[in-house]
């Protein structure tokens, strides 16, 4: 593989694993972060130590101006994007619907759904053969919550991921003739910090062993799925989201 890969929200977890694996597969990588510059620089340093090329770029991936600025920095430092992994996301406050605030709902939908729309828009301007590009691949990181519903915990998060999967389907159909594939990965219970950050640090220990495979997945396994979807090995896969849930 070769080209320029942008991974949103890649200072930790699945995003960091995607950035590191993408660099190992030959991409020049943009490591995006919002509030963890030290961790993003650590990912860049790990990539550099392995002989890869990466830059860390700050930005809130729910805000159009930050997104536009990120892609402009990538243009200047690495070249036009050829692969995008929309990974940045948040669960929001855990609770039932009647306990949710409007501001929390808006924050979740802005980062998890509007953000990927805006990032994809910037990527398409650079990738589309209709705009003089060479084509490319967009991967949206969803969640099993899109299918399971998130009842009693995070309805807003689940709904945003359901919307993301619909977006994957529709956009994949829209830009197929532009040389762009749009695909998604739907992780299940993955052993990352997201559970502790949502206030449920015990979640992996409780739900992992109950999965059909008897364990939680890893960020590296999700990265393998995402990078395979970007590869030529998945060249006829478009407008769909694959489950990477261990059968959950």
Q: Is 102 exposed, middle or buried (0-12, 13-18, 19+ CB in 10 A)?
A: exposed
Residue 51, CB-side half-sphere exposure with 13 Å CA sphere:
3
The residues assigned a catalytic role are 157
pLDDT tens-digit readout, 190-202: 987 665 566 667 7
**pLDDT given for residue 111 in this prediction:** 98
pTM of the predicted model as reported, rounded to 2 decimal places:
0.95
Structural domain span for residue 115:
3-244
Number of domains in the chain: 1
The DSSP letter of residue 8 is: S
d(CA 173, CA 238): 8
Closest CA to 30 of 73, 63, 64, 66: 73
CB neighbour list of residue 203: distance below 8 Å, 6 or more residues apart: 189, 195
CATH of the domain at 132: 3.40.50.720
pLDDT tens-digit readout, 98-122: 999 999 999 999 999 999 999 999 9
Cα torsion at 214, 215, 216, 222 (round to 10°)?
-90
């Amino acid at each position: 593989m070769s080209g320029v890969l942008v991974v949103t929200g890649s200072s930790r977890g699945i995003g960091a694993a995607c950035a590191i694996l993408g660099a190992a597969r030959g991409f020049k990588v943009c490591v995006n972060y919002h509030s963890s510059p030290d961790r993003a620089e650590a990912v860049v340093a790990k990539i550099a130590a392995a002989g890869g090329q990466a830059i860390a770029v700050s930005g809130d991936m729910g805000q159009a101006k930050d997104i536009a600025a990120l892609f402009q920095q990538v243009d200047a430092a690495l070249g036009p994007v050829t692969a995008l992994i929309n990974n940045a996301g948040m669960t929001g406050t855990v609770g039932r619907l009647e306990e949710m605030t409007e501001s929390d709902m808006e924050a979740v939908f802005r980062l998890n759904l509007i953000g990927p729309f805006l990032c994809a828009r910037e990527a398409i301007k650079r990738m589309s053969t209709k705009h003089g590009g060479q084509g490319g691949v967009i991967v949206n990181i969803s969640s099993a919550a899109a299918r399971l519903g998130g009842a009693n915990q995070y309805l807003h998060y689940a709904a945003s991921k359901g919307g993301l999967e619909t977006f994957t389907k529709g956009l994949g159909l829209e830009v197929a003739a532009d040389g762009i594939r749009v695909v998604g990965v739907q992780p299940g219970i993955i052993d990352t910090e997201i559970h502790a950050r949502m206030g449920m640090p015990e979640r992996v220990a409780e739900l992992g062993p109950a999965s059909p495979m008897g364990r939680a997945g890893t960020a590296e396994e999700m990265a393998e799925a995402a990078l395979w979807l970007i590869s030529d090995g998945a060249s006829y896969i478009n407008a769909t989201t694959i489950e990477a849930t261990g059968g959950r």
